[in-house]
Amino acid sequence: MDLTTGLIIFGIVLAISLIVRIFFAITKILVTILIIAALVIGGFVFCKSKFAPPAAAYYVSNSGYEAAFISL
């Protein structure tokens, strides 16, 4: 194997390594964003369910038709 072939193979291996590193970096960033989004959405859902008024009080305040429609 002469020098040119060795350099071409080395360049291909280096390029593949760089592509794999970039792919893993992007994947890491996306996973971090997804985890943060899940925590934020989970926090909103938890706060909404924790501080929401009881369903019975909500149904009493509405008319019968609205309560039946909302319960669907």
**What is the block-wise mean pLDDT of the chain (72 residues), using blocks of 10 residues?**
89 96 95 92 76 54 52 48
Mean pLDDT of the chain: 78
Q: How many angstroms separate the CA atoms of 71 and 56, rounded?
A: 11
The domain segmentation of the chain, as residue ranges, is 3-71
Q: How many angstroms separate the CA atoms of 19 and 11, rounded?
A: 12
Full-prediction pTM beyond 0.75?
no
The percentage of the chain sitting over the pLDDT mark of 90, rounded to a whole number, equals 47
